[in-house]
Amino acid sequence: MAVTLALLAALSYGVGDFIGGVGGRRSNPALMPIAVQMVGVVTAVVAVLVIGGTPTPHVWVWGALSGVGSGIGNVCLLRGLAVGRMSVVAPLSAIITAALPAVVGLLAGDRLTWWGWTGIVLALPAIALASRSGSGQGYRMTDVGYGLAAGLGFGLLFIALDQAGTDAGAWPLLPGQLVALVLVLVVALPQLSQASDIGAVVRWGGASGLLGGCANLLFLFATGAGQLTITAVLAGLYPAVTVTLAAIVLHERINRSQQYGLLAAAASIVLIITGS
């Protein structure tokens, strides 16, 4: 069950990122993260009402920390992709997003089979390759900084959701989404200097936010059903989904590195499932 939920989370994250990226091209890119995060809050409220549960201080604290991670990750990733080299920022953020929680899980006592270890080891470079674009020649330390900060933020999101647990149902998502919304507003509002097609923002941002909120919910319950090391790495395969959609829908060319990454990602999934 944990593997299935984690893969569904990766699918939802990947499709949501694709939709958000397309929406950012067709509307105000500064307004898009706000719309995404607002819908994420609504999704969390609905999940709490449907699933129920009783929040505790532990849940509120870890839920809020997940929001700090989500907010920092989104802000740094979007900024890094806008002003830096995507071929540096994207793969670095993706690999740290998966690797940091995996290391934390292992230190906390996660145990893997030989097949699981092989799948994890293969998945990490697969994530980096699948999210890599362009030649990657020449970059600044600021590119590394944005990628590192984004990866640490999203890694914190995964770790915090795992620590929050599922005893309180979907409650950890609500403080997380609220905190992330505040962080995004602080960064994005000063940049709103151009007129926007509100309808486009609502459509694209709403769809992306809904998928992102569902992905967080799926990951929350995936970690509740299985080990953080496995669920984080599987959910971290989301760049493969985004790249595949870009190739199919937008007819973007998949470069050689991405082809290797997609093949390695598929192989890692098979290995992890075999070892679960």
pLDDT at 76: 87
Would you say residue 264 has pLDDT above 70? yes
Q: Which of 238, 204, 177 is nearest to 20 (CA)?
A: 204
Q: Which amino acid is at 81?
A: L
Q: Region 263-270: what's the mean pLDDT?
A: 91
pLDDT at 135: 55
Would you say residue 232 has pLDDT above 70? yes
Would you say residue 77 has pLDDT above 60? yes
Q: Which residue has the higher pLDDT, 166 or 83?
A: 166
Alpha carbon distance 132, 94 (integer Å): 10
pLDDT at 194: 61
The model's confidence at residue 58, banded by pLDDT at 50, 70 and 90, is very high
The model's confidence at residue 235, banded by pLDDT at 50, 70 and 90, is very high
Average pLDDT, the chain: 87
pLDDT at 183: 92
Alpha carbon distance 162, 105 (integer Å): 9
Kindly give the interhelix angle for 256-274 and 114-130, rounded to the nearest 10 degrees. 160
65-74, 78-87, 171-180, 244-253: which range is least confident on average?
78-87
The model's confidence at residue 90, banded by pLDDT at 50, 70 and 90, is confident
User: CB–CB of 164/172 below 8 Å?
Assistant: yes
Q: Which amino acid is at 119?
A: G
Alpha carbon distance 60, 115 (integer Å): 36
pLDDT at 44: 95
pLDDT at 112: 87
**How many separate domains does the chain show?**
1
23-27, 99-103, 247-251: which range is least confident on average?
23-27
pLDDT at 143: 81
**Domain, as residue range, for 23:** 2-274
